[in-house]
Structure 1
Amino acid sequence: MFCLRKTGKCIVSGLLIAAVSAYANEAKQYDAEGIADVFYALNGDSKDPHKKINHTKGFCANGEFIPVDNITKTLNIPLLKEKSINTLVRYSLGGAMLSDKSKPRGMALKIQGQQDEWEIVMLNTEINFAKNPQEFGEFFAMRIPKDDKVDTAYITKRTSEVASYKNFEEYMKNVGITGSVANTMYHSIHTFYFKDSKNKLIPARFKFVPASGVAYLKENELQKLSNDFLESDFKEKAKKAPIAYKMILVLANPKDKTDDTTALWSGKHKEIEVGTLLVKEHRGDVCNGDVFMPSMLPNGVEAPKDPLFDIRNETYGITFGRRQ
């Protein structure tokens, strides 16, 4: 059994005993602890208290990050002086989803240099569904079942009322289901700040672009697959050749919103190729219990300034602690 620290209400098998709507109304402002409570109310399991309650399903791999030659003449990031940097990779599904037929995909990296380290957490979407902690917390809280039922009418209503939710729902209509991690593009969503050769901070988002291109499954192709096709597909492909991605910085234009993770950037942008990630070896579940912290940044990279970045890191730390 889990109990919400703010309200004292308890959860059995991921369901609230007390009325969910009452809890949602009480949570006028969501801090990291409150968001963690919501995740446990939605995805927690009294029979498995150490369960990972976000990006639950995933697998691990080893690879290397190879910086572009002389990239440190463009970006003042000492880590990128190394020729090849060992990288731990975790591929995952969004939330507590267990079927690979779901849309949300994640990729987390630990780029482990000799003197510095960079941890990266990405999704297969360019934007987020919430711009602040309150929207983020409510997005999940309204999906907690009450009496074994989710209030879909209320979710539809709130999605039409909250611009962030509505914007993300429209965006997701154009996102398909990928049949392989080798055909999935991953995005930072947040805007980070990178030092150039003159130590000027450049705001940029980044993406990991698959060398094999992005490809979505057709409905008839999807129906032929099991719920566990991503890991087996990875094993087959990695035996033949490394799965490759180009890391690309997308530099912000003057009018781009750099403190809003729900904002799509439009128009042409200057891009900088940083390096290539080669994912080579399947490692099973060796890293599934690890925490990947987006705040673990190397010298030369500074944190985003949006309202969600710090609370995201705090929530990761809280949920990691509860799993121990």
Structure 2
Amino acid sequence: MMAPRHSPRATSAITKAFLAVSISFLGLQLPAGAQVDASSPVAQIDALNGTFGKHDGKRASHAKGFCAQGDFTPAAKLDTFVKSPLFSQKKMDATVRFSIGGGNPGASDKSRSVRGLGARISGGGETYDLVLISEPVFFASTPESFVSFLQARVPDPATKKPDPAKVAAHNAKYPEAKNQPALLASHPAPYSYATTPYYSTNAFIFKAANKTEQHARIVVEPAAGTRYLTEQEEQSLPDLFLENELNSRLAAATAEFTIYAQLPAPGDSLTDSSQPWQGSQRVALGKLRVLNVAPQSTCDGLVFMPVTLPSGITPSDDSILKARAPAYAVSLGRRSN
């Protein structure tokens, strides 16, 4: 049986109530004149706003995007890998948001930046948020590196571009900062949201019915295969084409993805999302289908939280993963005011 859909207004109210408690609990309301720690959630959102500007009602990161509706069918006999009521359901509704990385709501769909896939799946009394990007590594390994990366890319008032010297200084201090940009520069932008793989970059801990635990990262593979823009398409397509492309695709058939838990190979970091994995075995968790593009209100009030997890999955000891929920709370608070 399909899980009941929540109205956008109800979902928004639930999200805001949860984050209001998070903000209070985490001490994110700073007194006037207080100094902001350089790696704090407030500093992280300040860095995003400083680089991309503030845009009323928009997310600080992945500001440009649109919503879709779909469903998720878990793979069979997952108890030997992860024990959870959610994965025992036959099929559940999924609310999906596709997006372009960064805080610029006017970014070109042809930009060589990451694409994002956020998905909320609910069933069996549990909720699972997937927060994924189109490259297998993140651009920072710690909150300090995250803030420094963005501060180094604040446009110079004269040139309107980042200062190369500041970027070089950041890269010298945080060499991991080169990993994601190198991958993005190695290929054009995706042709479609349905023709790019997506990755969690963070690792999570999966507990089986027999209590054994394994670390894994999430990898999502598109059924349509991976396809990037050709040189001619990069030149000829408009800056806004991805939503129309997906609408046309969905008019003919659903867009489908397989969600995997990627196990680490020896030596793969379990706590540093900026480092690529060699990886070993994959465990299929299920199929995600995108059925239709939905009204913007469907997920405007949603915050996809990577630590909103069903029983059987817990966060790894990754400082970036730990920092994300409170930073998202700050971001929501700013766009809600």
Query: Alpha-carbon deviations, 1:54-82, whole Å to 9, x = none?
Result: 11110100000001122234421221110
Partner of 2:115: 105
* Structure 1 position 109, deviation (Å): 0.5
SS of 1:248's equivalent?
A: strand
Offset of residue 161 of structure 1: 4.6
What does residue range 34-53 of structure 1 map to in structure 2 within 5 Å? Answer: 34-45=43-54, 48-53=55-60
SS in 1 for 2:319: coil
The SS at the match of 2:178 is: helix
RMSD: 2.3
Alpha carbons 1:93, 1:100 under 8 Å: kept? yes
| Shift, 1:168, TM fit | 2.9
Query: How far did residue 108 of structure 1 move?
Result: 0.2
Match of 2:259 in 1: 247
Q: What is residue 21 of structure 1 aligned with on the other side?
A: none
Q: Which residue among 61, 76, 83 is the counterpart of 2:83?
A: 76
Q: What is the deviation of 1:142? A: 1.6
Tell me the residue number matched to 1:116: 126
Q: Counterpart in 2 of 1:236? A: 248
Residues 38-187 of structure 1 aligned to structure 2 (within 5 Å): 38-45=47-54, 48-97=55-104, 98-103=107-112, 104-148=114-158, 149=160, 150-187=162-199
CA distance in 1, matches of 2:80, 2:316: 23
The reply to whether residue 212 of structure 1 matches residue 220 of structure 2 is no
**Does the Cα contact within 8 Å between 2:65 and 2:98 map onto a contact in 1?**
yes
The answer to which of 71-80 and 132-141 deviates more is 71-80
Distance 1:94 1:120 in 2: 16
Partner of 2:289: 278
Q: Which of 296, 300, 304 is the equivalent residue of 1:288? A: 300
Equivalent residue letter for 1:41: G
Shift in alpha-carbon separation, 1:189–1:6, aligned structure 2, 3 A: farther
Identity in percent: 29
The runs of 5 or more residues in structure 2 that have no matched partner are: 1-29
> Secondary structure of the equivalent of 1:292?
coil
| Conservation of the 8 A alpha-carbon contact between 1:44 and 1:51 | no
For the residue of structure 2 that corresponds to 1:188, the secondary structure is strand
**What is the match of residue 13 of structure 1?**
none
Q: 1:7 to 1:105 in 2, by over 3 A?
A: farther
Q: 1:50 to 1:192 in 2, by over 3 A?
A: same
1:30 and 2:42 are equivalent in the alignment: no
AA in 2 matched with 1:127: V
What is the distance in 2 between the residues matched to 1:288 and 1:102?
23
3-state SS of paired residue (1:169):
helix
Q: Which moved more, 1:60-69 or 1:137-146?
A: 137-146
Q: Distance in 2 between matches of 1:224 and 1:91?
A: 22
State how far apart, in whole Å, the 2-side matches of 1:197 and 1:307 are: 28
TM-score (norm 1): 0.87
- Structure 1 gaps, min length 5: 9-25
Q: Secondary structure at the match of 2:201?
A: coil
Determine the C-alpha separation between the residues in 2 that align with 1:156 and 1:92: 28
Aligned amino acid, residue 265 of structure 2:
N
